[in-house]
Amino acid sequence: MSCEHLICAYCAGPVEEGRCPSCRAARSRLHRSQGPLTPQQLAIIAALVLILAFGLMAPHLG
């Protein structure tokens, strides 16, 4: 779900603009609940898995 079509009941403005504290809180909740991991977290996990895999294979390569 995205906030681009939602209208705030408090200020009657689009939630995505974040005009009032209520809009900003709703926008924050929506963006936080979109997935368990952010793209940065996924990249870090992938890098750690690759480092671990190379670390475990290194003794067998030489």
pLDDT digits (tens, 9 = 90+) for 3-27: 678 888 889 998 888 889 998 888 8
Beta bridge partners of 14: 7
From CA 2, how far away is CA 31, in angstroms rounded?
8
Instruction: Give the residue with greater pLDDT, 9 vs 46.
Output: 46
Q: Give residue 2's pLDDT.
A: 64
Residue type, 28: S
Show me where the domains of the chain are located.
15-61
